[in-house]
A = this chain, B = another copy of it.
């Protein structure tokens, strides 16, 4: 039931907007009462927070597996994390887009919890870049913080335009991104 509420909420928030979707809209659409909603969530805002926190938790878990993989060098790890983000577009695209659009409706405490997780993902990425520089896989002439933001911008922006059912497959897209990130475009 919790999963039903979450799935329908994402759909409605995506279509109508967070403010414009009432708890009644959500429960009415899945044929249950408001009591059922309040059994799982204290408010619509907590639902929005939980949707995103569980997604971030999932991402952090999968990122950790990639980072701890002893068989991967740093280029492999970079590839793995970009692929992780692109692969999730299909299942979590609306989730990520809604959060980005509606996050100003979260109060400070809820927002801080999300920001903390996002920062954790970004910091892990930056540390990976720095370790890759130390072992000589990556250039040491760039700021790892700006590089991290730049690379994650490319992957995260894909949530707004990329369709994995279209002409370009997920792996092909990641290959194209990696070619840009690793080798640049200068002839």
Q: How large is the interface on A (under 10, 10 to 19, 20 to 34, 35 or more residues)?
A: 35 or more
Q: In angstroms, how far is the closest chain B Cβ from the Cβ of A105?
A: 8
Asked whether, in the complex, the Cβ of A187 is within 8 Å of the Cβ of B17, the reply is: no
Asked whether, in the complex, the Cβ of B183 is within 8 Å of the Cβ of A180, the reply is: no
Instruction: Give the residues from 95 to 120 in chain A that come closer than 8 angstroms, CB to CB, to chain B.
Output: 101, 104
A169 contact set on B, CB distance < 8 A: none
Interface: A150 (CB within 8 A): yes
Contact of A184 among B101, B143, B154, B180 (CB under 8 A): B180
Q: What CA separation (Å) do A133 and B104 show in the bound complex?
A: 42
Interface: A127 (CB within 8 A): no
Q: Interface stretch among A21-29, A39-47, A134-142?
A: A134-142
